[in-house]
Structure 1
Amino acid sequence: MAKTIIFTFRLISLLILLVPNLQAETSRKKEATTALKKQIFAYHRSDEETKSIPYIERYLELSPAEIYFKLLYAKALLYRTDLEVPKNDEAIESRINKNKAIQSNYTKSAKIFQENVTHLQKIRPRDSNLGRWLYLWAFAEWFSDNKEKAIKLFQKSVKQDYRLTESYYNIAALYESLGQWRDAELYWRKYEKAEREKEEED
């Protein structure tokens, strides 16, 4: 009986010590994520997505389940400006390595978009930003040289949000690059019609 009382007393004492520590840790995490959010949004508002990358990565370490910040990360990778572009007069090995780094970055962006836009479609099919995320994902696939997939995503984006008329333009350009002239012509016409309708609406 005495042993049980001592054990219970020790357990209660341990819990009394642990609770403030857990509360302090939660408070520190909240402060850190709030500061990171502020910095991330500031960079995105000023079109400096590249600078936001390390802050988003840190934020996702603290809150790995947040879809919105994963999508911001994919967008920042898509708009990234700090990767060196290969020059014609440099060594071939250097050009290959730089191209690989750029391609790898776009592939990573496309993968993050795919995982999270697909999830967003399931949990929030009426999300007002869904069309825009599909549109950005299409560019990531295009730059990863997945042209057919990019076409399908541009089609989905404008279906989701009719204001994204640039999707028709991009589809036409993609079809031209694939040598599919009839399809390209069809989408040039769709783009021109959608632009006229948008102007009339405004």
Structure 2
Amino acid sequence: MAAPSKRKEETTILKKQIFEYHRSDEETKSIPYLEKYLTISPNELYFKLVYAKALLYRTDLEVPGNDENIESRINKTRAIQSNYNKASKIFQENVLHLEKVRPRDPNLGRWYYLWAFSEWFSDNKEKSIKLFQKAVKLDYRLTECYYNIAALYESLGQWKDAELFWRKYEKAEKELEEEE
């Protein structure tokens, strides 16, 4: 009988630490706690999403410098890319699951928004555009989605589409200001 109570105590301590780091915008420091928590409770949908967010906002991976040798730059770039790919995969599995089990979840748009960034940083620009569109459809207050879509279209050389989304961004921002 002691084992379940010990497990509950351990998960409570881990949750407290994870939330403390997230409240103070130190997601990177929460990663080992999230990994341990998910080992104990692997089916916790919310904590999987929090883990993906922590990977997305991760600050402990070294950025390659121009003065480094090519092998070092490649290794650092691969580590960063692998991290974004992992975040993207976790978001994909769990945001889609969340949408099925809680289609009216008030944070669903925000999770799509974060997933879109992980795809963008994984160099999946077209997928990122679609996810930003879904995010703003779910939560109209995420007007920066239009801004990001416009920037993505510009990076793809699709100037007419970019211009359309710059206008949508300006209009949505104006409407939000009027609403407040």
Common fold: TM-score over 0.5? yes
Within 5 Å, give how 1:154-169 maps onto structure 2: 154-169=132-147
The 2-side partners of 1:142 and 1:24 are apart by 46
Which secondary structure does the structure 2 equivalent of 1:84 belong to?
coil
Unmatched segments (≥5 aa) in structure 2: none
Report what 1:11 is aligned to: none
Which secondary structure does the structure 1 equivalent of 2:36 belong to?
helix
Report what 1:61 is aligned to: 39
Which secondary structure does the structure 2 equivalent of 1:82 belong to?
coil
Q: Percent identity?
A: 79
Report what 1:19 is aligned to: none
Report what 2:80 is aligned to: 102
Letter in 1 for 2:59: T
The 2-side partners of 1:149 and 1:123 are apart by 23
The 2-side partners of 1:36 and 1:140 are apart by 25
The 2-side partners of 1:58 and 1:157 are apart by 30
How far residue 183 of structure 1 moved from its aligned partner, in angstroms, is: 0.2
Within 5 Å, give how 1:40-119 maps onto structure 2: 40-119=18-97
Counterpart selection for 2:155 from 165, 177, 180? 177
1:131-152 deviation digits (Å, cap 9, x = unpaired)? 0000000000000000000000
**Count of paired positions:** 180
Counterpart selection for 2:166 from 144, 164, 188? 188
Which secondary structure does the structure 2 equivalent of 1:87 belong to?
coil
1:135-184 deviation digits (Å, cap 9, x = unpaired)? 00000000000000000000000000000000000000000000000000
Report what 1:122 is aligned to: 100
Report what 1:24 is aligned to: 2
Which secondary structure does the structure 1 equivalent of 2:142 belong to?
coil
Letter in 1 for 2:100: K
Letter in 1 for 2:88: A
The 2-side partners of 1:147 and 1:104 are apart by 16
The 1-side partners of 2:46 and 2:99 are apart by 13
| Structure of larger gyration radius | 1
How far residue 79 of structure 1 moved from its aligned partner, in angstroms, is: 0.1
The 1-side partners of 2:37 and 2:86 are apart by 18
Query: What's the Cα RMSD here?
Result: 0.3
The 2-side partners of 1:115 and 1:64 are apart by 13
Misfit runs of 4+, over 2 Å: none
